[in-house]
Amino acid sequence: MPRVRVQEADFDAGRELEALTRGRTDVGAVASFVGLVRSDNDGHAIGAMTLEHYPGMTEKALEAICDEAHARWRLIDTLVIHRVGKLVPGDRIVLVGVASAHRGDAFAACEFIMDYLKTRAPFWKREDTAAGSRWVEARDSDETAAQRWKG
Amino acid sequence: MVTILYFAALRESLGCSREQVALPGGTATVSSLLEQLRNRNERWTEAFAPGKRWRVAVNQQMADPATPLKPGDEVAFFPPVTGG
């Protein structure tokens, strides 16, 4: 399976992480992150959200982020699955999995991949609330989180 | 000619998702293309007014106003991203 997948379908995090290390004996650590749709954002009740993306660029951007993680840490494998289309509160949005020999590399790379995904991968969320539908504004805190990996 | 793509809130406010545009004369950059688009009508002027936050990609790589453009390029304008 490719290490980057953009899909409408849900994923089974346990199965995906198991596949990441299947048949390997050099992996000592797997760190993962699962992002979910919350029912509340800045005080607005969310009924559903729709994720739009830029087909073609999205996959390239996620591949580039994984490549950068491999360049920065000693990693054995990485996996990013990001869903698009309509999602409701409680749905999984994103899975990042990182396999390495030691936990430090896996923890750091997993956080790095999420921080860069949040600021560099072309996805946009549109939320449906009781007051209507609105595009989610980018948060400065996400940019700040990504900036700390600079230098 | 270049292909321009618009995404998310920008696509909706412009009422356009994709178009073919002739490059401005001289040394074309994202900045000179944008100037040409802004001069089109109020809708484009407003969408790209000073203070509006937008991002640009050229051939599916993040770019900036100084990025040079050549015929056949794919230029995408979109709001700051909100995935994850």
Which pLDDT score, from 0 to 100, does residue B24 have? Answer: 83
Contact predicate A95/A16, CB 8 Å: yes
Which pLDDT score, from 0 to 100, does residue A106 have? Answer: 98
pTM of the shown model: 0.94
Its domain, for residue A115, covers: 4-147
Question: Looking at CA atoms only, how far is residue A25 from chain B in angstroms?
Answer: 31
CATH of domain B2-78: 3.10.20.30
> Which residues have a Cβ under 8 Å from the Cβ of A116 and sit 6 or more positions away?
A65, A68, A146, A149
Write out chain A residues lying below 8 Å of B81, CB-based: 118-124, 138
Average pLDDT, chain A: 95
Give yes or no for residue A1 having a pLDDT over 90: no
Q: What CATH number is attached to the domain comprising A54? A: 3.90.1170.40
The two structure tokens encoding residue A36: 């979910």
Q: Number of structural domains, chain A?
A: 1
This model of the complex carries an ipTM of 0.94
Nearest CA in chain B to A126: B8
Write out chain A residues lying below 8 Å of B76, CB-based: 54, 57, 122
Question: Looking at CA atoms only, how far is residue A23 from chain B in angstroms?
Answer: 29
Residue with tokens 């040079």, as numbered in its chain? B68
Mutate to test the interface with B, among A4, A37, A50, A57 (most CBs of B within 10 A): A57
Across the interface, which of B7, B60, B84 has its CB nearest the CB of A114? B84
Question: Looking at CA atoms only, how far is residue B8 from chain A in angstroms?
Answer: 6
